[in-house]
Amino acid sequence: MKRAARRSKRRKPHFRRRTKAGASPGTVVAHPDAPRPVIRVIAYSATEYVEQEVADLSKLPEYLRRFPVTWINVDGLGDTQVIQQIGELFGIHALALEDVVNAHQRAKVDDYEDQLFIVARMMHNFGSFETEQLSIFLGERYLLTFQERQGDCLDPVRERIRKSSGKIRRMKSDYLAYAMVDAVIDSYFPLAEHVGDDLDRLEDEMTSHYDPGLAHGIHIVRNELMLLRRTLRPHREAVNQLVRDDHPLISDDTRVFLRDCYDHTVQLIDLMEAYRETCVDLRDFHISLVSQRMNEIMKVLTLIATIFMPLSFITGLYGMNFNDKLPGNMPELNIPYAYVGVLVLMLSVALGLLLYFRRKRWIGDSAPPDPHDQADDDR
């Protein structure tokens, strides 16, 4: 139950109104509790590589000049001024900047001619179902990313840049953007596996023994699935838009990789749909298990009542106090061995009823010889 409570807290879907109700659209107001931004630059060419934390924004243009690709990563959205300065520096549209700060957007791609604004949502901690918004601005020579807080799923990308593994250092910023989106999508696979394991365990428990708590378990998994699907679905659309639209910032080479990433997204969503169907199926199965259990319980009750009610009636009959001295009043009481006779009568009533129930298959069919197994072995 503890787990249920913990999880259902996370169920709350991420969404909130505009920065401040009634504010002009495009107003950027940092959330008071958000951590202050930390800016980190990774700039590289096929041969050179620099990684540095940057405090002074005025140094950024130099990186952009010197390197073919500069990745500026901003962790934390807690300083309105800094965010707005960056926005001005890179010529970001006010609405896009507002979406960065209101980190409750669905995944999407917005095209601002000289810039692509990509929103993705990544899973923050392994095993948790919280998501964090990753806002990506893709320009000719730079990639600007905003995250809600430190810690992300992009370390493999950083590692590949550092080690110059694969072709990442030889490609332009569009490939870096692809690498990030791909890393985000990849971060969902362990979660999907997790949900799949939960479903397997639920199914195993369901077939092994009756447990009324399973309804709750199914309910929790359904909630998790719903959250995953809701978060993932817009990614499919967004990645597809990147593959399909002929934007000059995205080269054909990168497009092939994005197509691969799209395949992964489709595979994930496909899997989510399959899990959802499994959930519905498990729910149906559980419902029928519950009714069968009910049937079992009622059968026991009915068996007991049906056998003992007639017997009790007989005992009651001979417990009546009619004056057996008078004629016609319970002469049986005074017949020798009548008691034995009554006992035999009761025994045969009980046996007769048991036979009747067995004939109606009420007894003994809780563990019938499974015809499936046989049919299966014959093959």
Q: Binding to its own copies (CB under 8 A): which residues in 50-89?
A: none
Among 319, 359, 364, 378, binds its own copies (CB under 8 A): 319
Number of H helices, E strands in the chain: 11, 7
* DSSP string covering 221-258: HHHHHHHHHHHHHHHHHHHHHHHHS--TTS-HHHHHHH
Among 259, 349, 354, 363, binds its own copies (CB under 8 A): 259
Our finding on whether 125 is near its own copies (CB under 8 A) is no
CA distance 153 to 156: 7
Q: Under a CB-based contact definition with an 8 Å cutoff, are residues 52 and 41 in contact?
A: yes
Among 45, 61, 114, 322, binds its own copies (CB under 8 A): 322
What the block records as the tokens of 53 is: 């934390």
Interacting residues with its own copies between 24 and 43 (CB under 8 A) = 24-27
54/216 with CB nearer its own copies = 216
Residue (of 99, 109, 171) closest to 141 by Cα position: 171
Tell me which stretch binds its own copies (CB under 8 A): 36-44, 49-57, 63-71, 220-228.
220-228
Among 47, 55, 65, 328, binds its own copies (CB under 8 A): 328
Our finding on whether 313 is near its own copies (CB under 8 A) is yes
Helices (H), 22-110: 60-66, 80-89, 94-101
61/280 with CB nearer its own copies = 280
What the block records as the tokens of 142 is: 């730079």
Among 50, 300, 347, 351, binds its own copies (CB under 8 A): 300
Among 323, 359, 364, 378, binds its own copies (CB under 8 A): 323
Interacting residues with its own copies between 173 and 212 (CB under 8 A) = 179, 182-183, 186, 189-190, 192, 196, 200-201, 203-205, 207, 209-212
34/226 with CB nearer its own copies = 226
Our finding on whether 371 is near its own copies (CB under 8 A) is yes
Q: Fill in the amino acid letter for 166.
A: G
Our finding on whether 351 is near its own copies (CB under 8 A) is no
Measure Cα distances from 276 to 6, 195, 197, 281, 348 in Å.
22, 10, 14, 9, 54
3/66 with CB nearer its own copies = 3
**Coil/strand/helix, residue 69:** strand
Q: Least distance (Å) from its own copies to the CB of residue 102? A: 10
The partner residues of 121 in beta bridges, in order of sequence, read: 133
Tell me which stretch binds its own copies (CB under 8 A): 46-54, 64-72, 79-87, 330-338.
330-338
Q: Least distance (Å) from its own copies to the CB of residue 113? A: 10
Q: Least distance (Å) from its own copies to the CB of residue 284? A: 6
Among 53, 246, 368, 378, binds its own copies (CB under 8 A): 368
Q: Least distance (Å) from its own copies to the CB of residue 56? A: 30
**Coil/strand/helix, residue 113:** coil
Our finding on whether 345 is near its own copies (CB under 8 A) is no
Among 48, 51, 114, 270, binds its own copies (CB under 8 A): 270
Q: Fill in the amino acid letter for 199.
A: L
Residue 228-257 contact track with its own copies, rule CB under 8 A, x = bound? --x-------------------------xx
Helical (H) or strand (E) element with 11: none
Number of residues counted as binding its own copies (CB under 8 A): 147
Radius of gyration of the chain from Cα atoms?
Answer: 35
Among 81, 267, 348, 352, binds its own copies (CB under 8 A): 267
Q: Which residues contact 59 (CB under 8 A, 6 or more apart)?
A: none
Our CA angle for 69, 260, 144, nearest 5°, is 25
Q: Residue 166 half-sphere exposure, CB side, CA atoms within 13 Å? A: 13
The dihedral of CA 85, 87, 91, 97: what is its sign?
negative
E strands, 96-251, in order? 108-112, 115-123, 131-138, 142-147
Q: Under a CB-based contact definition with an 8 Å cutoff, are residues 53 and 39 in contact?
A: yes
89/226 with CB nearer its own copies = 226
Q: Least distance (Å) from its own copies to the CB of residue 153? A: 9
